[in-house]
Amino acid sequence: MTTNSITLTVNGDQVRRDVPARQHLIDFLRLDLGLMGSHVACEHGVCGACTVRLDGAIVRGCLVLAASLHGSTVETIEGVSDSGEIRDLQDAFIARNAAQCGYCTPGMLMTAADLLKSNATPTRAEIREHISGNYCRCTGYQAIVDAVETTAHKRRSSGPKP
Amino acid sequence: MKSPDFAYVRADTLDAAFRLKAQHGADARWLAGGQSLLAALAFRLSEPTALIDISRIDVLQGIAVNGSMVRIGAGTTHTTIGESDIIRRHVPLLADAVPHIAHTAIRNRGTIGGSLAFADPAAELPACCVALEATFVAASAKGERRISARDFFHGVYATALENDELLTAIEIPAAVAGDHHALIEITRRSGDYAMAGIAVALRRSDDKIDRVRLVFFALGDKPVVAHVAAGVLLGTDLVEDQIERAAKAVSADLDPPGDLNGGPEMKRHLAQVVLKRALLQILNNLMRMPA
C-alpha cells in the first residue's frame, strides 16, 4: 500500500499524517482523526452525506483524496458546530424536526450553510436546487426547506452579523 | 466501495507531469478534479497503478480572450466558469450549461478538461463544445497538437487523446451578433446525468438561419450531431412550424440505446421534447429582443 505524508488544517488545528494514497477525505476524517460527524454513504458522489468544506468551498468528501490535501484547510460539521457559526440553522432544524434519522443532516447543514453565505434571500425553489445533491430518505425535504427558509428570514431580520 | 490500491503523485508543472507519466507508465492516469474518476474507481471500473494529480498546475488554470477566441485552461472548475464574466459574455452557452452540471459541491472541484477527457456520453460539456466548434489543445512530452471537438469523442469514455497526452486548454470562438444558443436537458433529479439533453448553437442574419448545430447528449455513445434536423432549419427563419418539422425530422439522426432511464423509443421521444424546448427558448428570446 502506497502512503503519502500530508500536513493540513482541520477545524483550525494543524495535523500531520501519513495516509494511504487511495483513502478519501471522509475516511481520513473519521478513521484517522475520529471526526465522526461527516457520514459515509454512497461513496461515489451521489448522496451528499459526506459534504464538508475544503478551502472555503463545499465538496464531496468521498470524491477527494486525503493524499491530495497537503496545505489545505478543511472544516467539518464539528468545526462549524463548535464555532457557533450555524447554531441558528441547527436550532431551526431541531425546531422544525428537519432531522429524523439524522444520517443526511451534517451534509445537509453544510450545504444549507453554503447557500445562506452566498444568498441571504433564497426562494424555496433556490433552497431546493441547492440541496438537490443531498439525499434525505426520511423527511420528504419540506421540513428541511422550512428550516433553511426560517433561518434566512431570521438572519435578515436580525441584521447583518458584525 | 473503496477504490483499488494505487500510488498518488502530484505534478506542479507540465514538465513534471510528463516526467511522472513516463515514470509510472501506461496504467497511470491523470487526476484533475476527480469528480468522475474517483467515483469510477470506487466502482472499480479501472485499476490504475498511479494517479498523477494535475490540479495544482498553474498553466492549466484560467479563462482569457485571445482575439476572437476564448481560451479556457483545462483545469478550470465548473464553478469558476459559471462565475466568469468572460464566459457569460462571449460563450453564454457554457454559462447556461454550468448549473446543470451535477451539484455545487461537485462543480467546486470538477474541471472542464476532466469532464471532456472523461467523455461521459450523458455529460453536458462535450455536447456544448461540439456545438460551439471548440478546439482542444493536447500536450505531451513530444509537444502540442490541436483536435477539433467533433473529432475528439470516439465513444463511451473514449477520446482521441493518446495515453501520454494531457488535455491542456479548450479554445472556443467567441459569440458574435446573431448568435443564439440554448441548453435543455431532462433529468430525474436536478443535477443528475441527463436522460436526454441538447446543446444548440445557431447563427441568424436577415431573418434566416445561416448555420445551426444541434448536438444531443445521453442519446448515443458520444455527442450526437443532428444533421438532418439541422438541414430542415437552415436557410429558413425560426418559426413554430419549422421547429415542429425539425423535431419530426430528428428521428433520422438518432439511434439511441436504451439505458436505466428508458428504452430507445422513450429516448427518441425525449429528443423531440428537448429539441422543441431549446428552439422555442431561442425563439422566445428573439421575440423579446428590440427590433
| Weakest-pLDDT range from A153-162, B96-105, B238-247 | A153-162
- Stretch A144-159: mean pLDDT, rounded? 95
Interface ipTM: 0.95
- Sorted by sequence, the CB contacts under 8 Å of residue B286 that are 6+ apart come out as B180, B204, B238
- In the prediction, which pLDDT does A161 show? 54
The CATH code of the domain that includes A105 is 1.10.150.120
Residue B291 has pLDDT above 90, yes or no: no
Q: Which three cell numbers stand for residue B39?
A: 467515483
What CATH code would you report for B180-286? 3.30.390.50
- Contact call for residues A158 and A87 (beta carbons, < 8 A): no
Binning pLDDT at 50, 70 and 90, where does residue A130 land? Answer: very high
Please tell me the distance in Å from B264's CA to the nearest CA on chain A: 25
Residue B36 has pLDDT above 70, yes or no: yes
Query: Is A162 part of a structural domain of the chain?
Result: no
> How many angstroms separate the CA atoms of A105 and B159, rounded?
40
> At B288, phi and psi to the nearest 5?
-85, -15
- For residue B12, the tally of other CB atoms under 10 A from its CB is 12
- Stretch A93-120: mean pLDDT, rounded? 97
* Nearest C-alpha in B relative to A134: B103
- For residue B163, the tally of other CB atoms under 10 A from its CB is 11
Residue B53 has pLDDT above 90, yes or no: yes
Binning pLDDT at 50, 70 and 90, where does residue A97 land? Answer: very high
User: Hey, of B8, B36, B51, B187, which one would you mutate to test binding to chain A, going by the most A CBs within 10 A of its CB?
Assistant: B8
Q: Which of A21, A64, A129 sits opposite B7 (nearest CB)?
A: A21
Binning pLDDT at 50, 70 and 90, where does residue B54 land? Answer: very high
Residue A162 has pLDDT above 90, yes or no: no
On average, the pLDDT of chain B sits at 96
Q: What percent of chain A has pLDDT over 70?
A: 98
- Contact call for residues A35 and A93 (beta carbons, < 8 A): no
**Going by CATH, does the domain composed of B7-53 fall within 3.30.43.10?**
yes
- Please report which helix (H) or strand (E) contains residue B131, including its range: helix B124-131
Q: Which of A4, A24, A111 sits opposite B105 (nearest CB)?
A: A111
Domain spans in chain B, listed from the N-terminal domain onward: 7-53, 58-173, 180-286
pLDDT digits (tens, 9 = 90+) for A3-20: 999 999 999 999 999 999
Binning pLDDT at 50, 70 and 90, where does residue B73 land? Answer: very high
A68 and A133 in a single domain? The answer is no
Q: How many domains does chain A have?
A: 2
Residue B18 has pLDDT above 90, yes or no: yes
B interface with A, Cβ–Cβ below 8 Å: 1-8, 10, 31, 34-35, 38-39, 41-43, 51, 53, 55, 79, 102-106, 108-109, 189-191
Residue A160 has pLDDT above 70, yes or no: no
- In the prediction, which pLDDT does B260 show? 87
Residue B134 has pLDDT above 90, yes or no: yes
Q: Which of B3, B39, B108 sits opposite A22 (nearest CB)?
A: B3
Domain final residue pick, A80, A98, A130? A80
Residue B290 has pLDDT above 80, yes or no: no
Which domain does A61 fall in, by range?
3-80
Fold of B58-173: 3.30.465
- In the prediction, which pLDDT does B100 show? 97
* Nearest C-alpha in A relative to B189: A132
A74 and A90 in a single domain? The answer is no
Q: Which residues of B touch A132 (CB under 8 A)?
A: 103, 189-191
Q: Which residues of A touch B34 (CB under 8 A)?
A: 63-65, 68
- Stretch B235-255: mean pLDDT, rounded? 96
- In the prediction, which pLDDT does B5 show? 94
Q: Which of B8, B39, B79 sits opposite A21 (nearest CB)?
A: B8
Tell if the CB–CB gap between B103 and A132 is shorter than 8 Å. yes
Tell if the CB–CB gap between B34 and A57 is shorter than 8 Å. no
- Provide the Cα torsion A46, A47, A52, A58; round to 10°: 50
On average, the pLDDT of chain A sits at 96
The CATH code of the domain that includes A73 is 3.10.20.30
Q: What percent of chain B has pLDDT over 90?
A: 95
